[in-house]
A and B are shown apart, each in its own frame.
Chain A
């Protein structure tokens, strides 16, 4: 029997959990084979393209066509609503427990085995003030943002990541440096620290740091790690300005970070990763696949996600050729797409970059 402590606080009511269970199923139905919007809309797009005798041009042309179809507009309505319903239920349920949950976070702030380093003078750059995935208040404006994010991702992963299984799997796939030396690991934009703790378990002797701009996220990350006995240090820092010494880390890691950064900060962050990763060290990245080779529907979905699901930077990221940016900053890159996920659109890939 598993002895892993439950780190996600319970919802206020059984009915909240049932409501979110419904939303989880609704999301899968809308975005997957249940409603079959993807195949039906993509078929219409491809048939129209064939009858016109030319491929689709820019995404605006695709958008106009999708929005000319009642099914396209209905699909958008449903996709937006399921996300709004999720946050409505989570926010209300945790809001009812705000006093207890705030006290719970405070209880763990000073406990070990790892350290929590918050910066009382920290100022959030304007670009971080985005309500990604429509999360109320975004990542840092609510003291309970970390708990909101944790439950939100639980629904997103449909229960497949309740014990950080996905993070353990992805961290387990990261290649070690060829010399085998792993003494220090940096998890960039660690959010609630699920990858950070997975790294510590994979390399129990290594010093693991998780950094993020969001204090509410880091407090939940620290609480989770402390509850599980994982000695990970969490610090409030910017990914583009980490404050660590040159060549300090053997592995630097970024899980679904770059599509939530403006292009300017993407370049700055790769430059910073090149600075703090030692020669022969690994910079491992998991993020969205690029625009190239995408179906017309997938291109539409990327635009929709950017504009209607609080992902303003994702389109620019998907168009930016991250591999080229890594190479230009002193990395040798191996990249490959991840297997298609049921209910999704094969949207993730990895870049395993070696510092040369």
Chain B
């Protein structure tokens, strides 16, 4: 991971790592999480639309099959990993809320 220390020479003082713009850090975290959620929704929608288009094109899977499918153990484990990544993306913002304002 990159060294976070910076050494600018004069100019406009740069703000620290986690500036608070709204009325309190909780509001900032809430907006950040909202943006992350919106990003994740788009990521999922883009993938689903791509997959559905490919499946339909190849005549492999009907939409109903996707709705009824039960994951096997391999897919279930993968979904768990993906869920952890999703939660990290959206809710990592909670770690940035300072203990004291």
B-contact bits for A132-145, CB 8 A (1 contact / 0 none):
00001110011000
How many Å lie between the Cα of A306 and that of B8 in the bound state?
Answer: 12
B78 beta carbon closer than 8 Å to chain A: no
- Are the C-beta atoms of B3 and A78 separated by less than 8 Å? no
- Are the C-beta atoms of A76 and B21 separated by less than 8 Å? yes
Binds B, one of A122-130, A183-191, A241-249, A344-352: A122-130
B2 beta carbon closer than 8 Å to chain A: yes
- Are the C-beta atoms of A262 and B31 separated by less than 8 Å? no
- Are the C-beta atoms of A141 and B3 separated by less than 8 Å? yes
* Contact of B7 (CB < 8 Å), options: A127, A137, A306: A127
B52 beta carbon closer than 8 Å to chain A: no
* Size bracket, chain B contacts: 20 to 34
How many Å lie between the Cα of A59 and that of B93 in the bound state?
Answer: 31
Within 8 Å CB of B10, what residues of A? Answer: 262-264, 312-313, 316
- Are the C-beta atoms of A313 and B8 separated by less than 8 Å? yes
How many Å lie between the Cα of A18 and that of B10 in the bound state?
Answer: 38
Within 8 Å CB of B3, what residues of A? Answer: 137, 141
- Are the C-beta atoms of A310 and B43 separated by less than 8 Å? no
- Are the C-beta atoms of B22 and A77 separated by less than 8 Å? yes
- Are the C-beta atoms of B21 and A130 separated by less than 8 Å? no
B13 beta carbon closer than 8 Å to chain A: yes
Please report whether the interface of chain B is mostly helix, strand, loop or mixed according to DSSP. Answer: loop
* Contact of B35 (CB < 8 Å), options: A85, A264, A265, A311: A85
- Are the C-beta atoms of B11 and A22 separated by less than 8 Å? no
A44 beta carbon closer than 8 Å to chain B: no
How many Å lie between the Cα of A316 and that of B12 in the bound state?
Answer: 8
A331 beta carbon closer than 8 Å to chain B: no
- Are the C-beta atoms of A85 and B11 separated by less than 8 Å? no
- Are the C-beta atoms of A18 and B42 separated by less than 8 Å? yes
Q: Shortest CB–CB separation between residue B99 and chain A, in angstroms?
A: 21
- Are the C-beta atoms of A307 and B9 separated by less than 8 Å? no
How many Å lie between the Cα of A130 and that of B36 in the bound state?
Answer: 26
Within 8 Å CB of B7, what residues of A? Answer: 126-127, 129-130
Within 8 Å CB of B100, what residues of A? Answer: none
Question: Which A-chain residue is minimally distant from B42 (CB atoms)?
Answer: A22
B-contact bits for A1-30, CB 8 A (1 contact / 0 none):
000000000000011001101110010000
- Are the C-beta atoms of B31 and A81 separated by less than 8 Å? yes
- Are the C-beta atoms of B15 and A307 separated by less than 8 Å? yes
Q: Shortest CB–CB separation between residue A164 and chain B, in angstroms?
A: 26
B83 beta carbon closer than 8 Å to chain A: no
- Are the C-beta atoms of A315 and B14 separated by less than 8 Å? no
- Are the C-beta atoms of B31 and A138 separated by less than 8 Å? no
- Are the C-beta atoms of B2 and A141 separated by less than 8 Å? yes
B-contact bits for A59-79, CB 8 A (1 contact / 0 none):
000000000000001101110
Q: Shortest CB–CB separation between residue B82 and chain A, in angstroms?
A: 9
- Are the C-beta atoms of A85 and B2 separated by less than 8 Å? no
B55 beta carbon closer than 8 Å to chain A: no
Within 8 Å CB of A308, what residues of B? Answer: 14-15, 19
Question: Which B-chain residue is minimally distant from A129 (CB atoms)?
Answer: B7
Given contacts A18-B42, A21-B42, A129-B6, contact A74 B22 (CB under 8 A): yes
Within 8 Å CB of A74, what residues of B? Answer: 21-22, 31
Q: Shortest CB–CB separation between residue A180 and chain B, in angstroms?
A: 40
Which are the 4 A-B pairs with shortest beta-carbon distances? Answer: A137-B2, A312-B11, A306-B12, A127-B9
List the interface of chain B (C-beta within 8 A of A): 1-3, 5-15, 19, 21-23, 28, 31-32, 35-36, 38-40, 42-43, 46-47, 50
| Other 4 A-B pairs with CB < 8 A, given A18-B43, A21-B42, A311-B12 | A18-B47, A26-B35, A126-B9, A136-B2
30 A-B contacts, Cβ less than 8 Å apart?
A14-B50, A18-B43, A21-B46, A22-B38, A22-B43, A23-B39, A26-B35, A26-B38, A73-B21, A74-B21, A74-B31, A77-B31, A77-B32, A80-B21, A82-B35, A85-B39, A127-B8, A129-B6, A129-B8, A136-B1, A136-B2, A141-B3, A262-B9, A262-B11, A265-B9, A306-B11, A307-B12, A308-B15, A312-B8, A315-B12
